[in-house]
């Protein structure tokens, strides 16, 4: 299945919570809170107590926030007159500066290594290209001072020595703010762009990723710390010998401010979860609803002990959207309008074709789902918008459409939404807090629907309320991303 946060929004219909119900869950939790106790959130905590662990008072967790650059996401509303370029530096700069103004932990860039295709044409969202993340983040390092800078970079098609250098360099340039979202890719189509080529089975991809990260850590550890007479430390010879990589020499970059850039993981399979528990500092998850979030949180945190790690050593941050309004009703109405723009009639058919793997352009978006079954061997869709199990997804869509009497477009609107926090700033702040205090998340990767101004209102209106609640920083306390996240120093090996 496609797993880009945005593509997931479009294609992970089988597992995603219906838009309406997700919105209602978040909204109702928070409405209760603000309705009774204003901004203190005591009622939100009380409500959450009914369903799980909840922290109150000094015990409360601090929320971590990240900004996902929207760009090619299917959540982005390009029809909005305020939409701007997804490649101009000014767009990246605007979102990054806004996130830093809001004291966010980090700025996040997804990665696409091949332009996706639909019916032999470049996918609509990719027609303006996909820039390279580490280059963009290096430029952003110059216009930000505290914000973490996270790049999604593939472990299947890169080499540890080269990538470890680039990440360590970004960590130096930014004064300790670099993060690496380790993805593995899931399709041979992308592989055709690379010498390694083709496709690795999931287990092999994660075997390679685990040794890749371990090797990068050996390289980052290979320089001694600075000391008298050696202001940058001293390079020591490294030699890595393993099934995936056989390399030796000297690393070119002195030990960077964080020692090891922060490692993020985003795959969701059994192998992906185990890899996260063994190696990641953060999991970027798609399990955003209260119930799914708690189940995922419990699962991942329980895996840590086997690796000698504590629950606080790994942060779970689902990708979520949000819509604000002057009243909860107005926000709900606005959210419904945004969903209609995201899933236009044309996009509804596109989403349908992604699941069915067939040309369904003759179907009426306001009519019923096709009676015909998906084509299991279809090559209609290429790249990370492919659906792994079309029959199962189609069955889920059909069941929902029949149960609720939904058209094609309505079904796509319901099934492809990710968790969304909808309401007044008070409602949204209370709901975010509830999710974190009841262990459905440690924080959130926020995906705005406008490029690049989509975070402005959140920073101006919601962040101050989180600060008032005492669950979000009012100033950065440290200089590095690791310090924002409260992560332990990496243990140097060798």
Tell me whether residue 3 or residue 415 sits nearer to ligand FMN (CB atom).
3
Return the number of the residue (45 or 292) whose C-beta is nearest ligand FMN: 292
> Is 152 a binder of ligand FMN (CB under 6 A)?
yes
Among 159-167, 264-272, 411-419, 469-477, which window interacts with ligand FMN (CB under 6 A)?
Answer: 264-272
Per CB under 6 A, the list member of 71, 254, 267, 293 interacting with ligand FMN is: 267
* Member of 65, 266, 429, 462 binding ligand FMN (CB under 6 A): 266
User: Measured between alpha carbons, how far is 13 from 389 in angstroms, rounded to an integer?
Assistant: 11
Q: Interface with ligand FMN includes 268 (CB under 6 A)?
A: yes
Q: Which of 3, 144, 378, 401 binds ligand FMN (CB under 6 A)?
A: 3
Question: Which residue of this chain has its Cβ atom nearest to ligand FMN in the complex?
Answer: 267
For residues 104 and 189, which CB has a smaller minimum distance to ligand FMN in the complex?
189
Q: Which of residues 159-178 bind ligand FMN (CB under 6 A)?
A: none
The residue among 386 and 469 lying less far from ligand FMN, judged by its C-beta, is: 386
Minimum distance from residue 206 beta carbon to ligand FMN (Å): 7
Report the C-alpha dihedral over residues 160, 161, 166, 167, rounded to 10 degrees.
50
Does residue 433 interact with ligand FMN by CB under 6 A? no
Site string for ligand FMN, 270-309 (x = CB under 6 A): -xx-----------x-x-----------------------
State in angstroms the smallest separation of the CB of 201 from ligand FMN.
10
Smallest distance, ligand FMN to C-beta of residue 186, A: 4
Contact mark string toward ligand FMN, 82..121, x via CB under 6 A: ----------------------------xx----------
Of 183-191, 328-336, 361-369, 464-472: span binding ligand FMN (CB under 6 A): 183-191
Query: What is the smallest separation between the CB atom of 205 and ligand FMN, expressed in angstroms?
Result: 7
- Which residues contact residue 478 at a Cβ distance below 8 angstroms, ignoring those fewer than 6 apart? 484
Task: Tell whether residue 407 is a contact of ligand FMN (CB under 6 A).
Answer: no
- Stretch of residues binding ligand FMN (CB under 6 A), selected from 114-122, 247-255, 260-268, 324-332: 260-268
Binds ligand FMN by CB under 6 A, chosen from 9, 30, 147, 183: 183
Q: Pick from 165, 202, 309, 492: which binds ligand FMN (CB under 6 A)?
A: 202
CB nearer to ligand FMN: give 114 or 240. 114
Positions that interact with ligand FMN (CB under 6 A)? 3-5, 110-111, 152, 154, 183-186, 202, 266-269, 271-272, 284, 286, 319
């Amino acid at each position: 299945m496609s797993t880009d946060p945005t593509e997931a929004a479009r294609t992970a219909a089988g597992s995603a919570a219906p838009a309406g119900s997700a919105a209602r869950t978040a909204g109702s939790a928070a409405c209760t809170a603000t309705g009774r106790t204003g901004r203190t959130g005591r009622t939100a905590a009380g409500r959450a107590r009914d369903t799980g662990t909840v922290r109150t008072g000094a015990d409360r967790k601090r929320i971590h926030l990240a900004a996902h650059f929207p760009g090619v996401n299917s959540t982005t509303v390009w029809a909005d007159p305020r939409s701007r370029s997804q490649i101009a530096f000014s767009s990246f700069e605007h979102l990054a500066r806004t996130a830093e103004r809001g004291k966010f932990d980090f700025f996040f860039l997804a990665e696409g290594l091949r332009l996706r295709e639909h019916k032999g044409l470049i996918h609509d969202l990719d027609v303006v290209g996909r820039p390279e993340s580490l280059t963009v983040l290096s430029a952003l390092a110059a216009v930000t001072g505290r914000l973490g800078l996270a790049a999604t970079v593939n472990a299947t098609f890169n080499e540890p020595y080269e990538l470890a250098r680039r990440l360590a360099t970004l960590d130096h340039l930014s004064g300790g703010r670099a993060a690496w979202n380790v993805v593995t890719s899931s399709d041979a189509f992308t592989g055709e762009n690379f010498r390694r080529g083709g496709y690795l089975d999931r287990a092999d991809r994660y075997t390679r990723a685990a040794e890749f990260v371990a090797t990068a850590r050996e390289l980052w550890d290979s320089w001694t710390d600075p000391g008298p007479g050696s202001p940058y430390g001293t390079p020591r010879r490294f030699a890595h010998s393993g099934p995936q990589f056989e390399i030796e020499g000297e690393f070119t970059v002195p030990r960077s401010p964080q020692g090891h850039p922060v490692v993020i993981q985003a795959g969701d399979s059994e192998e992906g979860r185990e890899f996260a528990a063994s190696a990641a500092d953060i999991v970027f998850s798609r399990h955003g609803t209260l119930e799914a979030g708690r189940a995922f949180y419990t699962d991942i945190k329980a895996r840590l002990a086997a690796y000698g790690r504590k629950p606080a050593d790994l942060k779970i941050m689902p990708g979520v959207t949000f819509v604000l309004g002057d009243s909860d009703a107005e926000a709900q109405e606005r959210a419904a309008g945004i969903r209609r723009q995201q899933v236009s009639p044309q996009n509804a058919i596109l989403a349908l074709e992604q699941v069915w793997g067939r040309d369904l352009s003759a179907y009426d978006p306001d009519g019923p789902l096709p009676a015909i079954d998906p084509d299991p061997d279809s090559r209609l869709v290429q790249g990370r918008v492919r659906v792994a199990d079309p029959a199962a997804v189609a069955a889920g869509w059909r069941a929902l459409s029949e149960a609720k009497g939904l058209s094609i477009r309505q079904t796509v609107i319901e099934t492809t939404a990710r968790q969304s926090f909808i309401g007044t700033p008070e409602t949204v702040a209370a709901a975010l807090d509830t999710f974190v205090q009841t262990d459905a998340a440690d924080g959130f990767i926020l995906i705005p629907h406008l490029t690049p101004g989509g975070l402005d209102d959140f920073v101006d209106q919601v962040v101050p309320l989180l600060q008032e609640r005492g669950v979000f920083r009012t100033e950065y306390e440290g200089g590095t991303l690791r310090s924002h996240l409260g992560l332990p120093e990496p243990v140097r090996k060798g």
